[in-house]
Structure 1
Amino acid sequence: MTTKTATDPKSAVIESRDQLIASFAKGEKPAERWRIGTEHEKFVYRKVDHRAPSYDEPGGIRDLLLALTEFGWRPVEENGRVIALTGRDGSISLEPAGQFELSGAPLENLHQTCQETGRHLEQVKAAGDKLGLGFLGLGMWPDKRRDELPIMPKGRYDIMRRHMPRVGSLGLDMMLRTCTIQVNLDYASEADMAKKFRVGLALQPLGTALFANSPFTEGRPNGMLSYRSHIWSDTDPHRTGMLPFVFEDGFGYERYADYALDVPMYFVYREGRYIDAAGLSFRDFLRGELPVLPGELPTLEDWSDHLSTAFPEVRLKTFLEMRGSDGGPWNRICALPALWVGLLYDQGALDAAWDLVKDWTLDERQSLRDAVPKLALDAPLPGGGKLRDIAGEVLDIAHAGLSTRGRGFGGDNETGFLDPLREIVRSGKTPAERLLERYHGAWNGDVAQVYEEESY
């Protein structure tokens, strides 16, 4: 989740709805300036007993953050506590229970993405070795109850923790027990954004299936292959889901702004403090009628903060975020951006991907999304067959898109980063299914073995 690293005192006051719409247009970039921003989270555990460390304890999350300053990372504080880091590779932040996230810098190609990922993981492993900490690459804690997990000292999380149980039964699981990989991508125009949004939403279930990696809850199989994805189905219906309006004629910046205005607020950030506005209306804020700040109008920074509190499968800010995939091992961190860059950053690939999904109905898209957490590649495909039936074709489209991009390094283009996904399609087994095979086989029902085999 987003961590504020600074406040802009010059952020413009919003005086008209047009400013909200224009904020999306400011994200438009010509193709030569398109970048790739990759975010990945991992679970932190004590090697001696697999316990999730608290923030304050010796050798805990605070000490891990401080240890990384030896690599040039700069601390970001909230109320006198270090809660994030900034540096040349983007920012490091904390999810609510101490999940460790790198929000990578905007980079030109996937070779740079993998180099950035490698630097980060080597740094956290070095720091972790000194502190007795390990890092696990899964989509959900395989063995932890909610009450066993620490809470990080971040104001927005206190507000969210209070609000989540009011609107869904699994929101606290989303906050405390899940990890994801996502990629942030650019668009050239409103029309380009709309087409990328539609392809991203329609094919997000395939991304969920290929990266399905959360089959355990509290030490046992949970009946799902991506329980992390299932969690989103009962987190908060006002700010999650497949956004049917994206596929309607005329979809663009204005329609997304209307959607975001209807997402209930979480907070307003003022003078280093998060003010609880959970459930209140940003439309009231625009009229100066927000009960917690009567008479005050929002700024564009408030709007940006608010956009970060919507959690659909694809999210629009001044870029598009592909949000549907579980956390996983090193090579799949690079594979996720390879999939979406290949599909969305070449016009021929984008057109081919759209041709594949454009005739799916609203109900068919939703049914596919609903089936994927449990069935992954065996989810029923619109028009008949299973999702696995198009997986190879989608990877071929992404491969062609990456080939056309022609971003080489040492004689290789970017297509090799798709190899882990090719292996999943070839074998027919998702990462979660391989974990379950080991659980029922070599692990003899002991999920603790996952720490030996799935740590970075």
Structure 2
Amino acid sequence: MSIPQSGGGPIENKAQLAEYLADGCKPKSDWRIGTEHEKFGYCRDTRKPLPYDGPRSIRAMLEGLRDRFGWSAIEEAGNIIGLEKDGANVSLEPGGQLELSGAPLETIHETCDEVNEHLREVRSVAEDIGAGFIGLGAAPEWTHDQMPMMPKGRYRLMTDYMGRVGTHGTQMMYRTCTVQVNLDFGSEADMVQKLRVALALQSVATALFANSPFFEGKLNGHKSWRSRVWRDLDADRTGMLPFVFEDGFGFEAWVEYALDVPMYFVYRDGVYIDALGQSFRDFMAGKLPALPGETPTLSDWADHLTTIFPEARLKKFIEMRGADGGPWRRLCALPALWVGLMYDQGALDAAWDLVKGWDAETREALRVAASVDGLQAEAGGVKMHALAREVVGIAEAGLAARARPGAGGLIPDETHFLNALKESIESGRVPADELLEHYHGDWGGDITRIYNEYSY
């Protein structure tokens, strides 16, 4: 979940909202890669989630990272709720999931180095306080009542609202984790092509990264329970967005969509003001009940855009949001997949050729099937395993064409970051399949084995 946005002046007309998005257009030489990933923290002796306060806690983790590794603290109402350093942020999800929002970097080599350094820092602090961290799409055992709430004002507002508009919203907030990558676009037309490919192929990412077959100590019947959760969260702000595939889609169409997504809050002077269910359109007209007579700033617009949760999201960049959190090496595979598809025009055109004939029903059916069956999914005559093979192949060709070397030139390109996905393609097994094999095999149905064997 995002930290408050800043730096935006008054909004005087609706055209500024589209201009805000269009300001994200960059020449290809300036395109960057921003990788984000979340993980669950827990107490090693009890296997319960880390509380916010105490000697073994989220606060202790943040303070340890600050003091030991030179991060600067971000505070809200006197509580440390995040960290920042060198363009990167460490932030908290509602249930204490620790998130790294990486700096915008040029290559997968750099972003993977960043991930590795972060996880080493986290492990160093966690070992000293008796905590552990694990990468999964959903908490394997914990109930909602066991989850702490982090001291962030937006989460208090969202928790109540989520309970009223969907059946799975609080599960998403407190008991799921993801890995995503944020990528740039060069023009409105480039944004449109990339967003369409991103939405259409999120089901492939869901299948390849599926890693949440357990929930509340039981099998849940899905390989990605996290993906299942997103389908019944809040229909006003989630989903596959069929309008993106309509003729004429562009920045203005996204603005019209976002204006109709109900608000959560307005942030003023360090306080989140309740605007639940209210309209940004009314805010533009000075008729927001929460702030009568006041009109929004571009910071308010930027904040509002962070409360929209489709499978791929447009801000001044595009966020790929379909993957479960997972094992260490897959945290680098996710940006490699999307960079390979998006940052080489030949690869992007090939990816679009794969999906341009699909209708909205096929895209949605693949999304559902991927959450249940992973690589064994099939919908609308499309077999996921074969589709994923093609997609990973296109991504590999795109990374080879980028030819970004690493290790001082010893590694010619970024293609090796796809190895974990290529292994899944060859075996037909994704992380959830591996977990299920353990559960039915050597674990003898004991889900608690996951902590010792799969923690970072």
Structure 1 match to 2:167: 169
Which TM-score applies when normalising by structure 2? 0.98
| Residue pairs, 1:35-434, within 5 angstroms | 35-69=32-66, 70-88=68-86, 90-382=88-380, 384-410=381-407, 411-412=410-411, 413-434=413-434
**Counterpart Cα distance in 1 of 2:386 and 2:393:** 13
- Residue equivalent to 1:26: 23
Q: Which amino acid aligns with 2:415?
A: T
Q: Distance in 2 between matches of 1:64 and 1:261?
A: 38
Change (3 A) 1:385 1:192: closer
Instruction: Note if contact 1:378-1:388 (Cα within 8 Å) is conserved in structure 2.
Output: yes
RMSD: 0.9
CA distance in 1, matches of 2:362, 2:419: 29
Moved more, 387-396 or 195-204: 387-396
Unaligned runs of 5+ in 1: none
Structure 1 89/24 Cα, relative in aligned 2: closer, same or farther at 3 Å? closer
Q: Once the 2 structures are TM-superposed, how far is the Cα of residue 208 of structure 1 from its aligned partner?
A: 0.3
The alpha-carbon deviation at position 430 of structure 1 amounts to 1.4
Structure 2 unaligned residues grouped into runs of 5+: none
- Per-residue CA deviation, residues 98-124 of structure 1 (Å, 9 max, x unaligned), is 000000000000000110001100000
User: Identity percentage over the alignment?
Assistant: 57
Per-residue CA deviations over 1:18-66 (Å, capped at 9, x if unaligned) read: 0001001100000000000000000000111111121112221111100
Deviation at 1:447, TM superposition (A): 0.2
What number of residue pairs does the alignment pair up? 452
- Answer whether contact 1:89 1:116 (CA < 8 A) is retained: no
Q: Which amino acid aligns with 2:452?
A: E
Q: Deviations over 1:274-326 (max 9, x none)?
A: 00101000000000000010000000000000000000000000000000000
| Residue 89 of structure 1, CA deviation | 5.4
Question: Which amino acid counterpart does residue 40 of structure 1 have in structure 2?
Answer: H
Checking the alignment, whether the CA contact within 8 Å between 1:54 and 1:150 is kept in structure 2 is yes
Q: 1:363-422 CA deviation, whole Å, 9 max, x = no partner? A: 11111112211112222243x241111211111100010001010013211000000000
The answer to whether the Cα contact below 8 Å between 2:43 and 2:56 also exists between their aligned partners in 1 is no
Deviation at 1:162, TM superposition (A): 0.8
The aligned amino acid for 1:237 is A
CA deviation vs aligned residue, 1:119-146 (integer Å, no higher than 9, x gap): 1000000000111110011000000000
> What are the Cα deviations for residues 347-369 of structure 1, in whole angstroms up to 9, with x where unaligned?
00000000011001111111111
| Partner Cα distance (1:164, 1:32) in 2 | 41
> Which shows bigger deviation, 85-94 or 326-335?
85-94
Question: Secondary structure at 1:417's aligned position in 2?
Answer: helix
Partner Cα distance (1:381, 1:441) in 2: 30
For residues 275 and 351 of structure 1, the distance between their equivalents in structure 2, rounded to whole angstroms, comes to 44
Q: Give the Cα separation in 1 of the matches to 2:275 and 2:421.
A: 42
- Once residues 238 and 168 of structure 1 are traced to their aligned partners in structure 2, the CA distance between those partners, rounded to angstroms, is 10
